[in-house]
Amino acid sequence: MFFRNDEEYTNVSGVIDVILLILKTIATIFGLLSALSLFVLFLLCIL
């Protein structure tokens, strides 16, 4: 891994970290919702 001391690079990596954190949160929420919906569909198929 390469470490650069550029101010711009540091700012960009900080922004990327925040974006990744937000994306992970959204992905987790969507994952839970899709799991619930799949479970409901599964139950509907059985009944």
Q: Is residue 1 part of a domain?
A: no
- Structural domain count of the chain: 1
Two tokens, residue 27:
């992905």
Two tokens, residue 32:
């839970």
User: Which amino acid type is present at position 10?
Assistant: T
Q: Is residue 15 part of a domain?
A: no
Instruction: Tell me the pTM.
Output: 0.55
pLDDT tens-place values along the chain, 47 residues long? 556 666 666 677 888 999 999 999 999 999 999 999 999 999 999 98
Q: Is residue 16 part of a domain?
A: no
d(CA 33, CA 37): 6
Give me the pLDDT at residue 47, please. 81
d(CA 38, CA 5): 47
Whole domain around residue 41: which residue ranges? 22-47
Q: Is residue 5 part of a domain?
A: no
